[in-house]
Structure 1
Amino acid sequence: MEQWIREYIRANGAPDITYLKAALTTTPPDRLFQLIRTIRGSKSYTALLLAIYRDHPEVAHLLLSPLRGIADELLFEKTKDGHTALHRAVEKGDRELVELLLHTVSSGKKYKLLAEKDELGWTALTVAVGRGYTEIVETLLISLSGRQRVSLLSIQDSSLNTALHKAAYMGHTTVLQSMLTSIPPDKVSVLVNRMNMNSRTPLEDAESEGKKESVELLKSWQQPVLAAHAATYQKFAALHKADNQKSKALTNQGAELAESKQQIVALQEEDNRKTAELANQREELVESQQQIVALQEANNQMTADMAAMMERLNRLDIYLRTPTDTDETGDQLHEPLG
């Protein structure tokens, strides 16, 4: 695993990620987290940041999926311009990756991650608003409680603009509407009347830029609209509850996946052990076969020697029993034994 992470970090362009993906499927989460945290590129970027920057969402998913609840340290790391992985995923417009990041960070750190600013004072929400990504804006806001949404929408950048200012200024009316419907009714007027460093409210910014639809929308948010908004906000609260349930389910799946990977590793270790035992048994078998062959050869040699000895004994017996001559007294003489 370490080898493939290093190769992925060192590679330029579009490296082959086949082996990296294969290694990621069997690496235990704690080991994976340790490797991602310690192995870095020339700019101290982790494999996770590089995967997002290189438009490799499949690698980012494989890196993150096993790390739910234990990867906070990775998610809060920043690039030289102050971007977290969440900033970059939002900038890419990858909603699935944004959801994965939000479901990976531990629940107690989710708001803190969303409130992280880059060098311009922009949060991930500010980036989404600036690009007009309505669905991603809703995804970010749904993940927070009502109080946390108000807090996030109150954050000001280096020019004291809030996300509402940015949406109004750029004329992203749909985004503006999504943000307004996510706010508790009693907090809307406070945010709508917040001023930036030019002492302008979001409405005044929209008017200065001639964004008529945004102007009309902001003007419509008076008391009658606020009263009707209560029901809309409850729907948003229900979506937040559903998102929490999904997050818990994914966390459970992550735990099950982690356990499965540990079981796979254990099975691989057991398989390696059995393979080593089989290799030893094969060596012992080969050695035994060689000993058997040697014994067979020795036995064959012994058999041949015994056959030769029997042949000599037979010849000796014949020599002892066969007359060859007689002496003067008529006794039989035999050939010398030698």
Structure 2
Amino acid sequence: MEQLISEYIRASGAPNITSLRAALTTTPPDQLLQLITTIRDSESYTALLLAISRDHPGVALLLLTPLRGIADELLFEKDEGGYTALHRAVLKGDRELVELILHTVSSGKKYKLIAEKDGVGYTALTWAAVSGYTEIVETLLISLSVEQRVSLLNIQDIYLNTALHKAAYMGHTAALQSMLTSIPPDKVSALLSMKNRGSRTPLEYAESVGKKETVELLKSWKQPVLAAHAATYQKFAALHKADNQKSKALTNQGAELAESKQQIVALQEEDNRKTAELANQREELVESQQQIVALQEANNQMTADMAAMMERLNRLYIYLRTPTDTDETGDQLHEPLG
């Protein structure tokens, strides 16, 4: 795993997803977090920030999925522009990755992460409003309580613009509508009355750049809140509840995943132990086979020596028992034994 992360940081292309996924199945979450936190490029970018910046959402998803609830420090890290991983994911318009980050950070830090500002005071919501990513605006807001939504919409950048100001200025009516319908009716008026450094409200900001559709929408919110808003707000509340349930389910899945990985690691360790035992047994078997071969060779040599000895004994026996000739005196002669 360490090698895969190091290679990914050094290279510019995406790694082999199959190899990365296989490595992750045997890497405990706390070890993975340590590797991602400590292995960085020359600009101190982590593999997570690089994956998002390089448009490799698949890599980011694989890295983040096992870290649910333990990656707060990693998620709050910023690059040279003051962007967190969430800022980057919003800028890429990747709703799936935004959801994963929101479900990875611990519940007590979710609002703080969304409200974190970059170098010019933009939050993740501000960037979603600037870009007109209505679905991401909704994703960010439904993950928060009512009080947190109101607080988030009150945050101003260095020019005192709120997310409502930026959506109005860019003419992103749908995103603007989603933000307004996410808060209680009695809070809308105060938000629409906030002024930026140029002393302009969101309505006046939209008027200054001729965003007619946006101007009409904001003017309608100057009127008494319609019953339709109450219904929409209730729908938003239901989405928030569903998001909480999804977050809990993902947390449970994360716990099960962590447990499964621990079991896999334990099984792998047991397999390594058995492999080592088999290797030792194999070495002992090879040594025994060598000893057997040596004994067989020694036995063969002994058999050959015994055969030679028997042959000599037979010849000696013949020599002792069988006369073959006589000399001049009449004594018997025997063939030499060789």
TM-score category (smaller protein): over 0.9
Contact 1:8 1:17 in 2 (8 A): no
Q: What CA RMSD, in Å, does the superposition of the two structures yield over aligned residues?
A: 2.2
Match of 1:204 in 2: 204
Match of 2:161 in 1: 161
The more displaced of 43-52 and 225-234 is 225-234
Contact 2:185 2:225 in 1 (8 A): no
Match of 1:146 in 2: 146
Q: Per-residue CA shift, 1:189-239, capped at 9, x if unaligned?
A: 111111222222111212222222212211212464344422221111110
Cα distance in 2, alignment partners of residues 155 and 17 from structure 1? 41
TM-score (norm 1): 0.93
Q: CA deviation at 1:36?
A: 0.5
Match of 1:248 in 2: 248
Contact 2:25 2:264 in 1 (8 A): no
- Check 1:96–1:319 CA distance in 2 against 1; reply closer, same or farther (3 A cut): same
Q: CA deviation at 1:26?
A: 2.5
Cα distance in 2, alignment partners of residues 209 and 324 from structure 1? 140
Match of 1:78 in 2: 78
Contact 1:53 1:88 in 2 (8 A): yes
Contact 1:21 1:59 in 2 (8 A): no
Match of 2:288 in 1: 288
Match of 2:267 in 1: 267
Q: CA deviation at 1:293?
A: 1.0
Q: Per-residue CA shift, 1:247-271, capped at 9, x if unaligned?
A: 1111111121222222222222222
> Equivalences for 1:78-97 in 2 at 5 Å?
78-97=78-97
Alignment gaps of 5+ in structure 1:
none
The more displaced of 217-226 and 124-133 is 217-226
AA at the equivalent of 2:194: R
Confirm whether residue 184 of structure 1 aligns to residue 184 of structure 2: yes
Q: CA deviation at 1:88?
A: 0.6
Match of 2:304 in 1: 304
Match of 2:37 in 1: 37
Confirm whether residue 17 of structure 1 aligns to residue 50 of structure 2: no
Q: CA deviation at 1:16?
A: 3.8
AA at the equivalent of 1:313: L
Contact 2:322 2:334 in 1 (8 A): no
Match of 1:315 in 2: 315
Alignment gaps of 5+ in structure 2:
none
TM-score (norm 2): 0.93
Give secondary structure in 1 for the equivalent of 2:41: coil
Give secondary structure in 2 for the equivalent of 1:198: coil
Contact 1:90 1:127 in 2 (8 A): yes
- Check 1:215–1:325 CA distance in 2 against 1; reply closer, same or farther (3 A cut): closer
Q: CA deviation at 1:307?
A: 1.3
Match of 1:219 in 2: 219
Confirm whether residue 49 of structure 1 aligns to residue 23 of structure 2: no
Contact 1:48 1:60 in 2 (8 A): yes
- Check 1:320–1:242 CA distance in 2 against 1; reply closer, same or farther (3 A cut): same
Match of 2:121 in 1: 121
Match of 2:98 in 1: 98
Contact 1:167 1:173 in 2 (8 A): yes
The more displaced of 157-166 and 217-226 is 217-226
Match of 2:130 in 1: 130
Give secondary structure in 2 for the equivalent of 1:225: coil
Give secondary structure in 1 for the equivalent of 2:148: helix
Q: CA deviation at 1:326?
A: 8.2
Match of 2:112 in 1: 112
Q: Per-residue CA shift, 1:281-330, capped at 9, x if unaligned?
A: 22211111111111111111111111111222222222222345789xx9
AA at the equivalent of 1:98: V
Contact 1:69 1:106 in 2 (8 A): yes
Contact 1:116 1:124 in 2 (8 A): yes
Cα distance in 1, alignment partners of residues 9 and 335 from structure 2? 96
Cα distance in 1, alignment partners of residues 127 and 324 from structure 2? 126
Cα distance in 2, alignment partners of residues 57 and 282 from structure 1? 46
Cα distance in 2, alignment partners of residues 261 and 187 from structure 1? 47
Match of 2:63 in 1: 63
Cα distance in 1, alignment partners of residues 228 and 253 from structure 2? 39
Cα distance in 2, alignment partners of residues 233 and 325 from structure 1? 136
